[in-house]
Every structure is written in structure tokens, then in C-alpha cells.
Chains A and B, each alone.
Chain A
Amino acid sequence: MLNHCFLCRNEDLKEMLESSKESLKLEAMKRIVGLIAKGKNASELFPAVVKNVASKNIELKKLVYVYLVRYAEEQQDLALLSISTFQRALKDPNQLIRASALRVLSSIRVPIIVPIMMLSIKEASTDLSPYVRKTAAHAIQKLYSLDPDQKEHLIEVIEKLLKDKSTLVAGSVVMAFEEVCPDRIDLIHKNYRKLCNLLVDVEEWGQVVIIHMLTRYARTQFVSPWREDAVFDENSEKAFYDSEEERRVEQSKPYIMDPDHRLLLRNTKPLLQSRNTAVVMAVSQLYWHLAPTHELSIITKSLVRLLRSHREVQYIVLQNIATMSIQRKGMFEPFMKSFYVRSTDATHIKTLKLEILTNLANEANISTILREFQTYVKSQDKAFAAATIQAIGRCATNISEVTDTCLNGLVLLLSNRDETVVAESVVVIKKLLQTQPSQHSDIIKHMAKLFDNITVSMARASILWLMGEYCEHVPKIAPDVLRKMAKTFTSEEDIVKLQTVNLAAKLYLTNSKQTKLLTQYILNLGKYDQSYDIRDRTRFIRQLIVPNEKSGALSKYARRILMAPKPAPVLQSAFKDRDRFQLGTLSHSLNSQANGYLELSDWPAVAPDQSVRIVEVVEPVKEAGAPVFGKSKPGKSDEKFYSDSEEEEEEEEEGSSSEDSSSSSSEESESESESEENSDDSNKSSSSQSDSEKKKKTLKNKKLQQQKPDSKDRTKFFLMHIVLSFSNQFVASCRCSLLCLYVFLVCQFDTISWDVRVSLQASSPVFVPETSRELLHRMTGKGLSAQYRFTRQPCIYGNSMVSLQLTLSNSSDQALENIHISEKSSTGQNIHRFNAIERLEPQASVTVSMGVDFNDSTQAANFQLCTKEDEFSVSIQPAVGELLLPITMSEADFTKEQIYNKITKTLKLNLNEIPCGLSVWLANDRLGTGNLFKNNNLLKCYKYLNI
């Protein structure tokens, strides 16, 4: 009946879908989605639904997509009908539509369309929209799970997308990398520094994935920082380590952290402040696995902060803290009180907190912890109270000073009303007594008295074992306990029975006179017990202790076997072995390896080649024989600066630097890697942390990424080295750092300036506005009106001139004669005048062109427009954009130039001081402003500079 109804309803849905009314269709789809959500089967509507895939209504379309993704796998043939729609949508001008088409296409798990998917992914990976590229990265994983044979092709796409500079793509492509080819570490090398630098700007989910991947990467590429003689570039420690180092300098070379390793640690640190708990945990585990020990403490606060979050978050974080606190008590000890248990906590949270408190216990704080534990023992949550007793036991064994106190406390608990508390106490006392049995026969006696009231089998078994083991200390009580047990033997639990048999055997050996019969009785009972364990044990014991002709040599040693001194059990944390898993992972949480868990490798003994991470920038093609101008300038400007600074000692270096820069192309003396190292060294030794220094560092990092392996670059590095060593000499002064930065910039300009100039080639403007601006109104011009516009063409009158088009018209009723520009120009701009117009008839107009050299400034050019009778003062105020020469340059070059420009501006240096007004000419009109915002590096640069 129900089924029938359901079918009826489906019929009516089908009708609605087939109607021509959009709203009816939408309504039907909404109901269908409702069915899917409830988990009801709506697959038979497939043909009716799939027809609407090309609908214009975007909500309807989206709902159809939802349906398709859900059922396509079941109805493969019909699903194929929709493919062409998606293929069309992939070419749509709207990026959202392209992206969602790719999303759905790749989510349809139909093996036949694998080639189509592959093609679409490849196409989308080169899409202009980063959003579509992000979708492509997601599609890679989907295709891989559908058809693992495509792996090779997919890796190619991943490789391409890894190079993507968009923060939007980074997280998704690393995710794809982790799923498809986590072992292809070589793909990461070239992108390592980029990923580190982008990290802060990537969306939070991407950050988690990237951080986990980089943790694995770093463990394969860098050497361990956990050496005692390590020297770090966080300078404050340096002096301290130096003294220690001197003693053992002979034995080994001191550890110096790879700058890339440092880069990762530095760039992840701010993320500890993220609001996303997963990000904080990811950074914490990265520090745990990669950071030198003394830097580890910074993660503590953040982890403790997470404890304020939701219950589930607390659970995971506490698990990780529990593992950490075993190895490094000191990290969490100051925050001990944050782990105090509240009565409202969930049980698993309570147990974890207890675990951590126990791990943190030491001689100094044990009394505080024990006082806290006393409160917990009284808790209403009995399972928790029992766990507390175990924790007390652990503290007692670990810290010998308090063993007696704990033991006394536990004995007091034996009179507790609650069964579980008493039982747990018994078990823990048993373990404690094992460490020092002789002094505590009174406790054993006390427990024997309690024996009748205890029903928990584990506790009973524990008491029996104690009796047997230390029967010599309680010679009178033990046989009596055995007697009682003989009475109730049949109704006991297995574990109690086993211990009874043990007790009987031990008593038989020590006190056979009193217990011989009892033992035999118990052994007989055991012989016919239901459990084979008991029967087995009984048989074994009988053969061992009761001498008869069959029992050979073994019974001679029975006493030594049974009464052998047993080592005390070691009470240790359940989290002891969890550190084999990477922290923060599912495997760690479960304490067993999850599917797809990637082992964190050990540090390599010797670091692999560092140079693999150096990124080469493709140089723009140079034109042969292009004029090289401005090459002689650099030296001068350097000198000017140095004389300003008035530092005598720099004279030498100054000379060399200017020399080097002028002979840049022939400078071959230093190898690249060497210079890199040098610059790093000098950086390390500088102790100033002033802001400007940071800026410089950033800048340097940028430079490192953009190294070009030619000789000019070497010079660049050399110069940089000089600059950086300068900074060491007057680190304290911020002003000086700025000056250094300036030197650096100047040097940069020197070395690259002609580089760029060579490739500087005017291109045609993308857009020339048609609108003209008014120069002279007809009223003021007594009939003569003039309009001008910028043509944005290279000026034919001179390189530095901007070409203008002037339209002169005569709106008076008589002809105007001899229209020209007067010879005297008021502001001194160089103007190329148009040839005088002899005569302009009424209502006629004429167009002429002229050139003005604005001297790269936006100062208005004032001049006189004359007719035969009158003179009119006019002025042309250019917009900045009109002064620029449109050129084409690669994005990389652009970035480079942008950075120099921005920094020079920040420093408020006079642009004119920089050889040739390069900066103005480099910015690239409209294209430039567009790029300004697209370009991530630049945005980053902004951030660092706090502009």
C-alpha cells in the first residue's frame, strides 16, 4: 500500500517535471531533493529529471545537478545524455558556470567519460579564472578515484597546477597531490618556497593540508635540529651556545639550520593565532616534529587555548597534549591548572585530563596534584573516580617520595562505600605493595578482612594473589581465606578461581600441614570446572606440587617456580606508544594506523641537495644589439650615497662595489651558492630585529626566488652581500638600515636596469579613448574653440614627448587667421608646436598634432594659443597614465619592477636620485594597474611593508 502511494507520488512528480511551467518543475525538483535527503530512492525519475539539465533557471539547474551526481552512477547510460550540456557549459563566459559544470562532470562516476573528464581537467587547469583552476584540482582527485590508470597524466596536471601562484588553488592542488602522488616529493622542491610564502594567505582548509604536507617534506629534506650542539639563527641564543660549543668544537661541525627550514617555521608561526582549531593543531604538530626543542614552547599557549573550544575539539587536543606531555613535561607544567577537571566535563575529557595531570606530576607539584585527585575520588562519576585511583597509583610508583602517602590514602579508600572505588583501590594497592611488600603486612591483613565485602572479581583476585604471594607475612590469615574460598569456589568468576588455585598451591608449598586437604579439595573442584582454563591450570598445578611417580624432576623446583620473586609492574601511560604516529592525525587519535596514513620519515643523516629548491626565472628574450645606455651611471650614484653617509671604513667596499657593478657581466669570481650562503650568514649574525630589517629580509627572500643563473646575478648577490654586511655595522640605527636598503635598491637598479631597458619595447596601446577634453571654450576664445586628446602613440617629434591631438574649430561668423602657439612658454616645458594655420573658415574645424615634453611630471603645460588678433592662455594637465609608455613585459619582470618601485616610494626617496626616472617609465599604464591587484607577490609585499 505504502509502496503504491509512493509510486503515485512519483507519477505526479514526473508530470510536474514534464510540464512547461518553470515553477512547477522547480517545485518538483525541490521535493525530489527532499526525498534524496531522507535517503529515499528516487532513481526512477532519472529520465524526467535529466531532461532539465539544460534549463535556464539556475536554481532548477543546480538541483538537477544534485540529483545527477547522486544517481548517475546507477543510471550510466542515461547520464551520458547530459554530458554534452556540460561540455557546452565548460566554454561559458561565466566562470561560476564553467566551474560548476566541471564539478558536476567530474562528480558523475561513469567510467566511459574518463577521457572527456581528462580533457576538461587539462583545459580547466589553464583557465584564466583561479576559481575554475581550483575546481580542476578537485576534479583530479575525483578522476583518480574513478580510474587510477590516469595517474601519470594527472601528475602532469598536478605539476602544472603546483606552479600556480594563486592562493585559491594552492590548498586544493596540494590536496590532490596528497591523494594522487604523495611520494613524488620532487614536485614540491621548486614550489617549496612559494608555498611557504603563500601560506598565510591561503584559505584555512588549504593551510591545514599544506602544513601537513610540508611537515612530511621537511622531514625528508632537512637534517635534525635536535642536536645538542645546535646553533640557531634566532640570535639571542647564540652567545649561550657559543660557549658550550667551544668545548666540543673538535668533535663535530655545529648544526646550522637550513634557511628553508627556518622559512617554514617562521611562516607558519603566525597561524598559531588562527581561529580555526585545525590550523592551530597543524602548526603545533609541525613545530613538534620540526622545530628545535627550545622553540617548542610557543605552541603550548595556543594548544591550551583550544581547550576552550567545543567538546570534540577538546578531546582531540587533549589526546595530543597527552602524547606531548609524556616526552616534555616542562612544556605544559605551567598550565597544569588548565587541566583541572570540572564536574560538568564529559567522561572521556575527564580521563584525558587526568592522564595529562598524571604525566605532569613531579616532586615539586605532586602535593598539589594529589590534593586535586582527592576531590576527584569523591566524584559522582564512578568510572572517573576509579580512573583517578589508578592515576594515584601511577604517581605513587613514579615518584618514590609520595609512595607511602599514596598508599595510606588508598587504604583509607578501602572503607569507601562504593564498590568500584574499593575494588580499584585494591587493584592499585596490590601493584604498589609489590614494590615493597615486607613493610606492609598490616595492609595485607586489612585487605583480608575486607575480602568478604568485596564482590568485584578483579579486586577479589588481586587480594587472593596478594595472600598467596606474601603468605609468609600473614601465616595465620592466608589459610583462613583459602578456607572461605573453598566454600564459594563454584560460584566465583574465572579470574578469581584461577587465583584461588594459585593461592592453594602456594599455601601447600609453604604451609602444607594446615592446607593440604583444602588444596586437594580445591584442585578436585577445579578438575571438573566448566572452563578449560581452570581445568588446565588445575592439572598443571597438581602435577607441579603434588609429588608422585609420574611427575619427574619438575616438582623439585615447584617452590622456586611458584614463589619466585616477581618484578613489580610498571605503571605507565596509555599514551606512551602513541608518538609513533604523527600528531594531529586520525591514526594518532585512534592509536592504530588508518587507511592512507603516511609515515613521517626520520631525519636524513645528511641533508639532500638544497639547490633543488632554487627557482629559476625565465628571462625575457633580449634583442641583439639593443642600445645599452645608462650603463655608466651606476657608479656615480653609489658614490654619492656613500659620501653622504660619511663612513670612512666603507671606502674600500664602496670602491669594489661600484667596480663590480660596472663590470657586472664579466664578474665570475664567486659561485652562486657561495654567495647565497654568505648573504645568509651575514643575515644571521645581525642581531637587530627592527622592522626595516625584516623588510629587507623579505626582499632578500624574494630575490632568492628570482635568481638568474648568469653573471649579472652573481654581482647582484655580491652587492647584496655588501649591503647586508653594512647592516651589521650599524644595525642599531633604523635610519641606517633604510639607507642600506637604498644602497641595495640602487645596486639592484644598476644591475638590472639595462637588462630591462633592453627588453623595453613600446607596444601599441590597448585602448585609446575617443573623448576629447576642452582646451579653450568658444566663449572665451571669441569664436575659436579648441579640444585636445592624447593619442597614446609614440610621439614623432621626440622620445620624451607625449603626442597630443588638437582640434580647432571656428564657431564665429568670420574666418580666423594665423592660428598658432606663441613662442614663449610660461612653464618651460618643451613643446613642439603645430604649423600655424593660415585661415580657418567659419564653422570649419581642423585637426593638428603637437608634442609636449611634460618632464615626467603632471605639472600642467601652459602656453598661448594665438590668432591674428588675440592671445589665449591655455593649459594642458596630463593624467599620469597619459605620460606612460605602454610596453609589454612578462609578469615576472613586472613583479620585480613593482617591488623596487614600491619600496622606493615607501622610503620616500626622491625618485630623481635613482639613475634615470626608471620607475615612472616602468609602470605599465592600464595593464599595470590591473596587474597590481592580481599579483600576489605584490600584495604580500604590501602586507610586509604595512602599507
Chain B
Amino acid sequence: MIHSLFLINNAGDLFLEKHWKSVISRSICDYFFEAREKAVEPDNVPPVIRSPHHYLINIYREKIFFVSVIQTEVPPLFVIEFLHRVAETFQDYFGECSETTIKDNVVIVYELLEEMLDNGFPLATESNILKELIRPPTILRSMVNTITGSSNVGETLPTGQLSSIPWRRAGVKYTNNEAYFDVVEEIDAILDKSGTTVFAEIQGVIDACVKLSGMPDLSLSFMNPRLLDDVSFHPCVRYKRWESERVISFIPPDGNFQLMSYHISAQNLVAIPIYVKQNISFFETGSSGRLDITVGPKQTMGKTVECLVVTVHMPKVVLSANLNATQGTYNYDPVTKILLWDIGKLNPQKLPNLKGSLSLQSGAPKPEESPSLNIDLKIQQLAISGLKVNRLDMYGEKYKPFKGVKYVTKAGKFQVRT
């Protein structure tokens, strides 16, 4: 299966290699570099690249390319999913997955990679098992280790590995038993010039932070489970219970994890929290243009829209922007051609407006295309779909846990065409 892994940064430096079978020369990456060059943008690199004897499957994450070398037929998603899992594990261990942290923790990275794959086939990818095998670095532990010479490596097989619930270790103990659930919904939408919705849907996830002692058996029920159109669960969730009773019943992993993700399709009318009035035009003569954007609340269910940011990808000929914002700050980056307007809180009484002129490269023809607007926003205490958690029950343990549910709505891929 997975033969080797190379980590390459954005500048094209190969800074880590790991082989699970015989060593493959790093010159294999030349095929990748070739494709990388052709693609211009790192996002455009094709995920599957063919070389005469090998196949390179790569992902791009946190400005690092994870390039894996494959020799024989294997489902490409298998490899892609695994590489993402590797990146997530790094993030989990070191707080962030960046070139520096990987370089700083190269030994732990190596130990992790060694445990995660055996002969190219995934062995232990569950973070709770890995953490028992190799303890994540903390400042305290690394100090203790230098003094006492003790190691980061566990000596016995993690209990989870053998049990039928590999995601939870035995003997978890907390003084404060708490379980928090965040219902996070993202609105994916495309609005056309006139403001009508071309496409809209809601993607939701329930992130959990469960710190409970022992082996709690939780069940979570919704007020309106019929809203959920399509769901996918963490392996801990009993699918049969969901099928029959629409109750999410599970023995949770310890700590942070994503319990489920769901999808609410366009058929149920998706509420669009804001409207955007925009007018971006370029004049035939004089190498200039005009921009006028106003944002206002639409269906916010009485909550305030926060962290409102409007991003405009300008045509290449736009040199600079001379604008005036009634609220927030704007910034135009002439290199990436991105206009960023950070509004902040949306005040329904006084609608924020950005107005002014754009100057174009002189002599260049008026750009044909009209830039599209990407919106970012956040609404606290609201799940835009109306999904509500009814109750959370715990069985199997005697103590009384502290429970909490939080709702947040965000803009996902929210785009306004002009």
C-alpha cells in the first residue's frame, strides 16, 4: 500500500521522508515538482500523479504537501483519507501542523508514523490509542524527561486496541465531569447578482468535548431529528439506534472529537441571514472603476451577525482601490488582488457601506469578468436550520455530569455573484 511519505513545503523543499518498505529515492518527487510547477497555484496540483513505475498521491494542507508513493493498485481515497489523518494527528499532538513544529518534533513524528502504518497498511490511527503509545509532548514532560531520562513511549499495549471500543481507553478519571456539545452550522450558498438564491444548503457538525470518568454511555436526542437529511457519525455511534429511534447513542471517546456531521438540503428553505447590494463597474475609458457595496440583515432570527468579512477577488488589471468604509476597515492587496473588508458586527440601524473608486492599469482593456464576493460571518446562539438538542442522558456511571450545548452559525462557502 503506502510505500513512502515525503513532506514538502510551499517553497519546494523536501524536509522529511519516511519509508515503510524498501527505500525509494527522493528523486521520485521530481514528477511531483513538475506537476507543481505546471499548476501554478498549490491548490491546482492534481492529487494523483503518475510516474513510470510509481503513483504519487498528495494532499496539500497547512502549506505542506504530503506526498505519498504508491506502487500498486489501491483506492486513492484510502491514501488521501490516511494522509489527512496524519495531518490531523500532528495537529492534535503539536497544536498546529506546520513545517517548524514537525521539524522540532521530528523524533515524535517518526515514532508516530512508525505506529500509524505497518508495511504501508494503517495500524493505529485512533488518537486515543496513539496517545497511550506515544505521549504528546508538553513542556513539563519534556523537562522531566531530560532530567530523569524517562521516555515518551508507552510500554504496554493500549487497552483500547484490543477492546471493541478502540476509541476509548479504560480508567479515565476526572474530578469535574463535563460534556459539552457545539452545534456548528455552515451555510453554503450562491446568490446571484439580483440577490436571489441560486443554491443554498446547510452543513452542520456537532463537535463534542467530553470529559467524563469511567465508561459513560451517552444518548443525545433532538427536538426535531427529521430535519437532518443526511448524517455521518463517529464510529462510536450506534447506527441501529439512530435508524430505529433517531437517538444518538454512544460511548464517547475521551476529550475532543466530532460526533457527527449532517446535511440539510436545499429543499427545506435555507434562511439567508444577510443581503448584499453591490455595484462594481469599470468604465470604458479612463482606466478606472467604481465600487459600492452595502450589507444588511435579512433573516437573522433576532440575533446579531458578527465577524462579518467581505472578500472580493478583483480582476488582475485593478491596481489600487480608493474607498471609504462607513464601518470597519478595508485592505486591498495589489499582489494577490484581494480586497478584504472587515466589518465586524452588523448594525441593522446603520448599514455598513463601502464605496469608492478603483484604478486600473492604464491602457489595459476593461475587464470582462465581474468579481464575485465571498462572505464570512458568524451568529452566536443560533442554529440556522432550527435544529435543537432535546436532552442528553448518561447511563452506566453514577455521578452527575455537567452538560452544555452551544449553537453557532457560520458562513461556509457563501458567495455572491456580480
Chain A 87-121 residues near chain B, CB threshold 8 A: 94-96, 99, 103, 106-107, 109
Q: Is B231 an interface residue (CB 8 A)?
A: yes
Kindly supply a per-residue 1/0 record for chain B positions 143-175, scoring 1 wherever the CB is within 8 Å of any chain A CB and 0 otherwise. 000100101111111000110101000000000
* B106 in contact with A34 (CB, 8 Å): yes
A145: B residues at CB distance < 8 A = 21
Interface centre among B18, B44, B60, B365 (most CB of A within 10 A): B44
Specify which of B77, B157, B241, B316 is in contact with A946 (CB 8 Å cutoff). Answer: B241
* Pairwise interchain contact B203-A586, C-beta atoms closer than 8 A: no
Closest CB in chain B relative to A304 CB, distance in Å: 8
Residues of A within 8 A of B17 (CB): 37-39
Task: Type the 1/0 row for B7-49, where 1 means its CB is closer than 8 Å to any CB of A.
Answer: 0000000111111011100100000000000000101101110
Main secondary structure of the interface of B (DSSP, over half): mixed
Known A-B contacts A33-B110, A310-B59, A586-B48; A380 and B231 likewise in contact (beta carbons under 8 Å): no
20 A-B pairs besides A94-B156, A308-B263, A590-B55 with CB distance below 8 A are A26-B149, A57-B149, A62-B153, A63-B107, A94-B155, A130-B162, A134-B123, A138-B118, A142-B21, A273-B232, A278-B80, A301-B230, A305-B263, A310-B59, A311-B59, A342-B190, A589-B48, A595-B72, A597-B73, A936-B164
| A62 and B152 alpha carbons, distance in the complex (Å) | 11
In the assembled complex, the Cα of A746 lies from the Cα of B74 at a distance in Å of: 49
Interface segment, one of B296-304, B344-352, B369-377, B402-410: B369-377
Given A34-B107, A37-B17, A281-B75: A691 and B244 within 8 A (CB)?
Answer: yes
Partner of A70, one of B23, B107, B368: B23
Q: Using Cβ atoms and an 8 Å threshold, which residues of chain A touch B258? A: 275
Question: How long is the Cα–Cα vector from A936 to B198 in the complex, in angstroms?
Answer: 50
Docked Cα-Cα span, A596 to B72, in Å, equals 5
Picked from A37, A58, A130, A275, the residue with its CB within 8 Å of the CB of B234 is A275
Q: Does A316 contact B (CB under 8 A)?
A: yes
Query: Is B122 engaged at the interface, CB distance under 8 Å to the other chain?
Result: yes
Against A, the Cβ 8 Å flags (1 = close, 0 = not) of B62-82 are 000000001111111110111
**Does A741 reach chain B (CB closer than 8 Å)?**
no
Q: A378 and B370 in contact (CB under 8 A), knowing A94-B155, A305-B263, A311-B60? A: yes
- Please pick, from A26, A273, A338, A348, the residue contacting B231 in the complex, using a CB distance under 8 A: A273
B154 to chain A, nearest CB (A): 8
Which 8 A-B pairs rank lowest in CB-CB distance, beginning with the nearest?
A59-B151, A596-B72, A312-B47, A96-B157, A23-B149, A205-B122, A278-B77, A59-B153
- Asked whether, in the complex, the Cβ of B119 is within 8 Å of the Cβ of A62, the reply is no
Chain A residues, CB < 8 A from B369: 378-380
List chain B residues, Cβ under 8 A from A224: none
B43 touches which one: A63, A130, A311 (CB < 8 A)?
Answer: A311
B256 interface residue, CB < 8 Å from A? Answer: no
Least CB distance from B322 to A in Å reads 22
Q: Report yes or no: B59 in contact with A939, Cβ–Cβ below 8 A.
A: no
Across the interface, do B44 and A346 meet the contact criterion of CB distance under 8 Å? yes
Closest B residue by C-beta to A383: B44
Chain B residues with CB below 8 A from A587, complex form: 73
The verdict on A135 contacting chain B, using a C-beta distance below 8 Å, is yes
Q: Are B370 and A277 in contact (CB-based, < 8 A)?
A: no
Q: Do B190 and A594 touch (CB < 8 A)?
A: no
> B242: shortest Cβ distance to chain A, in Å?
8
CB neighbours (8 Å) of A281 from chain B are 75, 77
Taking a contact as CB atoms under 8 Å apart, the answer to whether B74 and A586 are in contact is yes
Nearest chain B CB to A932's CB is how many angstroms away? 12
Which one of A167-175, A466-474, A836-844 is at the interface?
A167-175
A584 at the interface (CB under 8 A from B): yes
CA A304 to CA B199, docked complex, whole Å = 14
Q: What's the nearest-Cβ distance from chain A to residue B235, in Å?
A: 7
Cβ of A597: which chain B residues have Cβ within 8 Å of it? 73
Chain A residues with CB under 8 A of B107: 30, 33-34, 63
* A665 at interface, CB cutoff 8 A: no
Are B72's CB and A594's CB within 8 A?
A: yes
Report whether B233 and A205 are in contact in the complex, using a CB–CB cutoff of 8 Å.
Answer: no
Which residues of chain B have C-beta atoms less than 8 A from A301's C-beta? Answer: 229-230, 263
Closest to A25 in B: B149
A residues 845-870 in Cβ contact with B at 8 Å: none
Write 9 A-B pairs (CB below 8 A) sorted by A numbering.
A66-B114, A73-B23, A138-B118, A204-B235, A270-B240, A278-B80, A278-B81, A342-B415, A944-B240
**In this assembly, does A14 line the interface, its C-beta being within 8 Å of a C-beta of chain B?**
no
Give the interface of A toward B (CB within 8 A). 22-23, 26, 30, 33-34, 36-39, 57-60, 62-63, 65-66, 70, 73, 94-96, 99, 103, 106-107, 109, 129-131, 134-135, 138-139, 141-142, 145, 167-168, 172, 175, 200-201, 203-205, 208, 212, 270, 273-278, 280-282, 301-302, 304-305, 308, 310-313, 315-317, 337-338, 340, 342-344, 346-348, 372, 375, 378-380, 416-418, 584-587, 589-590, 592, 594-598, 691, 936, 939, 943-944, 946
Is B388 located at the chain interface by the 8 A CB criterion?
A: no
B355 at the interface (CB under 8 A from A): no
Counting CB contacts under 8 A, is B261 at the interface? yes
Q: Do A416 and B368 touch (CB < 8 A)? A: yes
A139 (CB) vs chain B CBs: closest residue: B119
| Interfacial chain B residues near A167, Cβ < 8 Å | 164
Q: A58-B153, A343-B313 are contacts. A337–B266 as well, Cβ < 8 Å?
A: yes
Find the residue from A26, A273, A305, A375 having the highest chain B CB count within 10 A.
A273
> How far does the alpha carbon of A270 sit from the alpha carbon of B233 in the complex, in Å?
10
Residue B222 is within 8 A (CB to CB) of chain A in the complex = no
- Flag if A142 contacts B59 (CB, 8 Å): no
CA distance A114 to B171 in the complex (A): 41
CA distance A584 to B23 in the complex (A): 28
Contact, CB under 8 Å: B235 / A308 = no
CB distance from A173 to the nearest CB of B (A): 11
Per-residue A-contact encoding for B103-127, CB less than 8 Å = 1, 0 else: 0001101110010001101110100
Contact at A38–B151, with CB atoms within 8 Å? no
- Cβ–Cβ < 8 Å partners of A99 in chain B: 157
Tell me, rounded to whole Å, the shortest Cβ–Cβ distance linking B253 to chain A.
12
Interface residue? B239 (CB, 8 A):
yes
Q: Which chain B residues border A62 with CB–CB below 8 Å?
A: 111, 114, 153
* Distance between Cα atoms of A37 and B48 in the complex (Å): 24
* A397–chain B nearest beta-carbon distance, Å: 26
Provide the bound-state CA to CA distance between A340 and B197, in Å. Answer: 12
Nearest-CB distance from B138 to chain A (Å)? Answer: 16
**Distance of A489 from chain B, by nearest CB (Å):** 30
* Chain B residues within 8 Å of A131, by CB: 157, 161-162
* A507 to B21 CA separation, bound complex (whole angstroms): 66
A270 proximity list for chain B (CB < 8 A)? 239-240, 243
Per a CB cutoff under 8 Å, which of B23, B55, B121, B233 touches A172? B121
Q: Report the bound CA distance from A67 to B348 in whole Å.
A: 64
* A99–B155 alpha-carbon span in the complex (Å): 12
**B84 lies within 8 A of chain A by Cβ:** yes
**Contact A141 B119, beta carbon cutoff 8 Å:** yes
Determine which of A36, A312, A347 lies in contact with B80 in the assembled complex, contact meaning CB atoms within 8 Å. Answer: A312
Does B290 make an interface contact (CB < 8 A)? Answer: no
Q: Which residues of A contact B246 (CB under 8 A)?
A: none
Query: Which residues from chain B contact A142 at a C-beta distance below 8 Å?
Result: 21, 119
Q: How far in angstroms is the closest Cβ of chain A from B159?
A: 11
A337 to B76, CA, bound (A): 26
Interface flag for B141 (CB, 8 Å): no
Asked if B164 and A201 sit within 8 Å, CB to CB, the answer is: yes
**Shortest distance in angstroms between A623's beta carbon and chain B's nearest beta carbon?**
36
Closest-by-CB residue of B relative to A175 is B121
Cβ-neighbour of A417 out of B1, B122, B156, B365 (below 8 A): B365
Contact of A273 with B239 in the complex, beta carbons under 8 Å: yes
Q: Which residue in chain A gives the minimum CB-CB distance to B49?
A: A590
Q: Is the CB of B118 within 8 A of A103?
A: yes
Residues of A within 8 A of B233 (CB): 273-275
- In contact, B368 and A343 (Cβ under 8 angstroms): no
B368's nearest neighbour on chain A, judged by CB, is A417
CB closest chain-B residue, reference A32 = B107
CA distance A403 to B123 in the complex (A): 56
B50 interface residue (CB < 8 Å to A)? yes
